[in-house]
Amino acid sequence: MRKPSLEIAIEKLAIAGEQVGFTVEQMIQLLSMGLSVETLLELIAWRLETMHQPLAAATSLSCWIV
């Protein structure tokens, strides 16, 4: 039996949040305190981007090391 699309979306949100260091409990608490789902998604996306920036910056700077 297929999972409802809302259940799949919540699972994906929980997985993405955990990848950037949030626990499910923390995400629930943020939402309970009034943070919108849209803002939570933006925060998770921002954290994903910033997690990869130092690696990209280090790679681009390494070409200058002689």
Quote the pTM value. 0.69
Residue range 10-45, pLDDT digits in tens:
999 999 999 999 999 999 999 999 999 999 999 999
Confidence of residue 47 (pLDDT cuts 50, 70, 90): very high
- Report the sign of the C-alpha dihedral through residues 31, 37, 38, 41, in that order: positive
Residue 55 is predicted with a pLDDT of 56
CB 16 within 8 A of CB 44: yes
Length of the chain: 66
